Amino acid sequence: MSDPVLVAEGGGVGRITLNRPEVMNAISVELAEALDGALAHLGARARVIVIRGAGGNFCVGGDFRQLERLRADGGDAVAPLFDNFRRACARIREIPVPVVAAVEGYAMAGGFELMQASDIAVVAAEAKLADNHLNFGQVPGGGGSQQLPRLVGRQRALGHLLTGDRLTGAEAVAWGLAYRAVPAAELESVVDGLAAKLAAKHPDALRRIKRLVLDGLDLPLERGIALERDTVLEHLREDASREGIDAFTTRRAS
């Protein structure tokens, strides 16, 4: 059997490919575990991570065939599928580097949840996006019922979760679920350009900004602003921050 997740790195960019194209990269226990491991590995080495799916699709969600086999062994046997996947999604928040989802084809259920968990999503305009758990009599298990309302608000979240209606790439951008929507033929070049741009940024400043945004979302505004103040003062105390200041003043003087 081929590896459920492929990992590559170069030029400061770590690349993770969900590698079950024969089932549209459906999430198995093994894929979720490998995804978590790949994120942990690259999070300590790369400056930016890109996640995409093999075979023209991002991910259609959980592997129903494996789910049925696990259910036959009893309720507890199903838990690793959800635990491993939720651990991988949480890992994205924990690692210091930005994680970019390059989304094309189908991103359904768990694939849609993985897209939401990513720091930045670039989607193909032709992509088919949805949390369609309820269409199959299921309940979200990868954070969708909690994450989606926080991203798009209660009305849109409930409307979407209860209907399972598909979203276009443009709608995902309008809802705040994606950074950009581009023609499918341009997705790879746009994502590569974005990854290269992020990899060239000051790593300490980039890491701190990611942490500020994600931690600040869990805080009242005034506490978040106080956290920003403390963070910028900490950053300015370090020698590495002088590089940007020196570069700016040198450019102004020339």
Q: Could you read off the pLDDT of 85-101 as tens digits, one per residue?
A: 999 999 999 999 999 99
Task: Give the per-residue pLDDT at 223.
Answer: 95
Does residue 16 sit in the same domain as residue 104? yes
- Do 157 and 169 lie in one domain? The reply is yes
Number of domains in the chain: 2
Residue scoring higher pLDDT (219 or 76) = 219
- Looking at 199, 214, 231, the residue that finishes a domain is 199
The confidence score (pLDDT) of residue 247 equals 58
Question: With 60 as the cut, is the pLDDT of residue 248 above it?
Answer: no
At residue 240, the pLDDT reads 65
**Domain stops at, among 199, 223, 242:** 199
Residue 65's closest CA among 76, 81, 83, 86? 81
Spatial neighbors of 192 by CB under 8 A, at least 6 apart, are none
CATH number, domain with residue 38? 3.90.226.10
**Same domain? 241 vs 124:** no
Average pLDDT over residues 189-213: 96
The per-residue pLDDT for range 101-111, each reduced to its tens digit, is 999 999 999 99
pLDDT score at 38: 98
**Backbone phi, then psi, for 141, in 5-degree steps?**
-130, 5
Helix/strand/coil (H, E, C) string of the chain?
CCCCEEEEEECCEEEEEECCHHHCCCECHHHHHHHHHHHHHHHCCCCEEEEEEHHHCCECCECHHHHHHHHHCCHHHHHHHHHHHHHHHHHHHHCCCCEEEEECCEEECHHHHHHHHCCEEEEECCCEEECCHHHHCCCCCCCHHHHHHHHHCHHHHHHHHHHCCCECHHHHHHHCCCCEEECHHHHHHHHHHHHHHHHCCCHHHHHHHHHHHHHHCCCCHHHHHHHHHHHHHHHHHCHHHHHHHHHHHHHHHC
Residue 25: per-residue pLDDT: 98
Q: What is the pLDDT of residue 32?
A: 97
Indicate if 106 and 20 belong to the same structural domain.
Answer: yes
Predicted model pTM: 0.92
What band does 39 get if pLDDT is binned at 50, 70 and 90? very high
Per-residue pLDDT at 70:
85
Q: Are residues 68 and 156 in the same domain?
A: yes
Residue 104 sits in the same domain as residue 225: no
Residues 96 and 185 grouped into a single domain: yes
| Rounded mean pLDDT, 42-52 | 97
Q: Give the Å distances, CA to CA, from 246 to 154, 201, 243, 253.
A: 46, 15, 5, 10
The CATH number that applies at residue 219 is 1.10.12
Both 55 and 89 in a single domain?
Answer: yes
Residues 227 and 107 in one domain: no
CA dist 233 to 15, 58, 236, Å? 33, 40, 5
What's the pLDDT tens digit per position in 1-27?
A: 689 999 999 999 999 999 999 999 999
Question: Which domain does 48 fall in, by range?
Answer: 5-199
